[in-house]
Structure 1
Amino acid sequence: MLDILKFILKLILIGLIPALLLFVSKSDYVLDYLINKDFLITIENKEVVKFWLFLLGTFTAALIVPVKLFITEKKLKKQTNLLKNQVNVILEQICRDLDVRTDSISLRVFKVTKPFFSKTIKLNSYYIDNITTIINGKKDLVFEVKNNEVQGVVGRTYVEKSFFVDYNITNDDNSYQLTSELKNRIGDVQFCCAAPIVFDKEKIKYIISLDSNELIHKSAPKTALLKRNLVYLSQLFDEFIL
């Protein structure tokens, strides 16, 4: 809260600079006061001072916003690169634990939405530039949760509100109630795991998932390490990215 107040105060102070310059250039009160005190200006150069104050105020007002945007963009780009590196470090560790190639794991995020006047929960793929894996196809990948229908590992994660993993998605015994379109979009995925990102009052807003087309052999140690690192990844997304 204190940081927000400091930021607002800083914006106000920066905005006051051009406003003050323009005010002084349009008002005789301040300039006449300075003339009476014999400070910096005289009656002879008053109009010249007003002109330069007006020009400086206009220039400053026009310059502040682009400069602030440029600085902010640089900071955001630097922060994004740092976060991307942190995400990659965690993903590399997960791949080592699962004994798979780094490029064989895809990272995805799904945003939870509930349309008005509908009981259907939609889990929409949410792309984050340079961090998550691009979904194939022109449309978003969407899983649904409604009544007794729970689609995909992502849907199971949402319903159970906890980490979920399946090492063999293609097993005929598995039932994720996927439509033909979803099956085509998912393709040859063999492995998938997901974890919720929980906000206040245990409300899930996003779900993070990992999937691979490679068959990964299941073991208790792998699952324990996977769960721990996926929790780290969820916390990173919760605090700094989403």
Structure 2
Amino acid sequence: MERLHNVLYGNCLLIIALFTCTIYPNAAEMHILTDSNWTTVLKGDWFVEFYAPWCGACRSFEPIWQLFSEQSEDLNVNVGKVDITVESGLAARFLVSQLPTLYHISEDGTQFRKYNGKRRVDDLERFINDKEWMKIEPTVWYLKPNSIPMSIAGALAGVGEAMRVIVQMLTDTYGIPLWVIIVGMVIATIIVGVVLGLALVAIVGVIFPPKKVRAVPNVNSQEQEKTNDQQESADSKKDK
């Protein structure tokens, strides 16, 4: 029953949002954030949604988020959204683990806070107007999306997504069996690892050449020779 109520509520908001867009064509637009333009959230205050087209909860929330974005100018906040099925790198940067996920970004990209409150338009507006976001503990520095660790995580996720696209293209377009692709990737990984290992050894050898080892005289040998000479001298005296 509650689910039906949420669906009806979302549909009503969608109709209101479409009606508002018709009357006010210059209403604030929704910002579509991608891996190439996401750094715009590092300027000003932002409220960003991470969603997926296949997510039922995201589809129910869409009209609410759209209607909220219409009020962004009055609320003095930029509103955006990220499709994680396209921008997996951004999802990794922001540690998105559930959908939809909302992030509030303030103080020119220095404070990132995850919103876990109610998701009605009036709740979202109150969250901004009353500055309720200040009650939420911000993300620690090493988990901020623009930190070095999360930048690496985003890059790795981007590489993984690129590999997935390549594999899909090889299987769908060229009809190459999946096991052949996997074997080829394993062999390529081994070859690249060997080449990089040899290159690293060569670089280290150039930067830190081996030092020449100077021969150290054997003291014990010298003493033994001296003892032998003395013994021979003593023997020769006896013979005389």
* Same topology, TM > 0.5: no
Which structure would you say has the larger Rg?
A: 2
Give the TM-score range, shorter chain: under 0.3
Q: TM-score with structure 1 length normalisation?
A: 0.20
Greater strand percent: which structure? 1
